[in-house]
Amino acid sequence: MKKILTIIGARPQFIKAAAVSRIIRNENSIREVIVHTGQHFDFNMSDIFFTEMDIPRPHYNLEINSMSHGAMTGQMLERIEQVLMDEKPDMVMVYGDTNSTLAGALAASKLHIRVAHVEAGLRSFNMLMPEEINRILTDRISSLLYCPTDTAVNNLEKEGYKNFDSRVLLVGDVMYDAAIFYGKQSAQKSNAINRLNLQNKSFVLCTVHRQENTDVPDRLTSIISALNEIHQVSEVILPLHPRTRKIIQDRHISLSFDPIEPVGYFDMIELLKHCSLVITDSGGMQKEAYFFNKYCVTMRDQTEWTELTDYGFNRLTGSDTKRIIEGFRNFSGRSIENAISLYGRGDAGEKIVKSIIEYL
């Protein structure tokens, strides 16, 4: 039996890994060992996903978090290397573009252990984003590159991946798999709509946590101004990332309504299903808005999910107060009709696992 070692550490990775782990468990020829780097650690940023989504408990939790990028990535690299030397897996799987992703891929490749990167090929072409650095480097040292979209495959082609000793495979988006699978259960599993008194109410669903927004004072102030203004005419549900909560408090930025704590995935799906619009800087939420037929206003200057902006389902506003409000006025309450399949068929996890088994 072959051993796959999965390295995850941040919220979106738990959701992505859940979609693949579920398939691995049905296979007799491979077994998964899960390493949690500890990057995210609050109950509702981490544990809740393992419980709700039935992800096996991590075999290791390295408890590395709350540090500068270099310190965090460096400590993860050192600790993951030790785990890999002990476990001797046949392959390492990493997801997305966080510091945990890069540390896992780098530790494995230095030990000549092959790496499978799920969500390969995405580019924002903004090298100031930590995620862009992480994903470019991870792609280059991975053997199996699982792309969610045609755009991702094209990006890798343009970077010359045909000449590299790696396989580029278009499989669809594991987040779409997760949305379909867990979306069937969310109405039973979540009471978010009742708990938050949102029955028959129109509300905007908002998240903000990206470093490019939180760490530039003017950008965060400008975003909060837009949300305060929108709140005058609509309920705004803002499950707030701890990073943003802390910065709002430290800088005494005035938010005219109460944010809520981050929510679990079932609550999030129910909020997505019932909201009038998504306003976000999250990568995952841009697609989830689309999965649940909602328009999205994205408070960033670029996106990796360009198919959504090309079709007009998503609008980039940066942090500009006026443009965010304009996006709200244009899109709120409208739903996407005749959505087409931009992210596969909900079987990306199955395709990934099948291809790994063949490869090994």
Which pair of tokens denotes residue 297? 């206003």
Residue 209 annotated in active site: yes
Length of the chain: 360
Pick one of 161, 265, 291, 292: the residue that binds ligand UDP (CB under 6 A): 265
What letter does residue 43 receive in the DSSP assignment? G
If one counts every other C-beta atom within 10 angstroms of the C-beta of residue 133, the result is 16
Q: Report, in Å, the least distance between residue 29 CB and ligand UDP.
A: 30
Q: Report, in Å, the least distance between residue 245 CB and ligand UDP.
A: 12
Which pair of tokens denotes residue 19? 């979609």
> What CA–CA distance (Å, rounded) separates 260 from 237?
7
* 65, interface contact from ligand UD1, ligand UDP, none, CB < 5-8 Å by kind: ligand UD1
Q: Report, in Å, the least distance between residue 40 CB and ligand UD1.
A: 4
Q: Give yes or no for residue 208 binding ligand UDP (CB under 6 A).
A: no
Which pair of tokens denotes residue 53? 């989504």
* 239, interface contact from ligand UD1, ligand UDP, none, CB < 5-8 Å by kind: ligand UDP
If one counts every other C-beta atom within 10 angstroms of the C-beta of residue 3, the result is 14
250 CB-near residues (< 8 Å, 6+ apart): none
Contact flags string 131-150 toward ligand UDP, x per CB under 6 A: --------------------
**97 in Cβ contact with 67 (< 8 Å):** no
Q: What b/e string do you get for 106-127 counting C-beta neighbours within 10 Å, with b at 16 or more? A: bbbbeeebbbbbbbbbbbbeee
Backbone angles phi, psi at 30, to 5 degrees: -135, 155
Which SS3 state, helix, strand or coil, does residue 357 take? helix
Smallest Cα–Cα separation from 227: which of 202, 198, 258? 258
For 111-141, where are the alpha helices, taking DSSP H only? 130-140
**Angle value at C-alpha 31, between 102 and 347, nearest 5 degrees:** 75
From 86-94, 146-154, 264-272, 310-318, give the range in contact with ligand UDP by CB under 6 A. Answer: 264-272
Q: Give yes or no for residue 99 binding ligand UD1 (CB under 6 A).
A: yes
From 92-100, 114-122, 186-194, 344-352, give the range in contact with ligand UD1 by CB under 6 A. Answer: 92-100
Which SS3 state, helix, strand or coil, does residue 249 take? helix
The catalytic position among 36, 117, 209, 274 is 209
Q: What b/e string do you get for 269-287 counting C-beta neighbours within 10 Å, with b at 16 or more? A: bbbbbbbbbbbbbbbbbbb
Contact flags string 221-260 toward ligand UDP, x per CB under 6 A: ------------------x---------------------
Q: Report, in Å, the least distance between residue 149 CB and ligand UDP.
A: 15
**Per CB under 6 A, which of residues 173..202 are in contact with ligand UD1?**
none
Q: Give yes or no for residue 11 binding ligand UDP (CB under 6 A).
A: yes
Contact flags string 108-147 toward ligand UD1, x per CB under 6 A: ----------------------xx----------------
Q: What is the DSSP string of 305-333?
A: -HHHHHTTSEEE-TT-HHHHHHHHHHHTT
* 263, interface contact from ligand UDP, ligand UD1, none, CB < 5-8 Å by kind: ligand UDP
Q: Give yes or no for residue 52 binding ligand UDP (CB under 6 A).
A: no
* 142, interface contact from ligand UD1, ligand UDP, none, CB < 5-8 Å by kind: none
Q: Give yes or no for residue 172 binding ligand UD1 (CB under 6 A).
A: no
Pick one of 11, 79, 135, 351: the residue that binds ligand UD1 (CB under 6 A): 11
Smallest Cα–Cα separation from 247: which of 280, 224, 278? 224
Q: Which residue is nearest to ligand UDP (CB)?
A: 282
Closer CB to ligand UD1, 40 or 287, in the complex: 40
Binding site for ligand UDP (CB under 6 A): 11-12, 15, 207, 209, 239, 262-265, 268, 282-285, 288
| Residues with catalytic roles | 209
Q: Which residues bind ligand UD1 (CB under 6 A)?
A: 10-12, 39-42, 45-46, 65-66, 97-99, 130-131, 209, 242-243
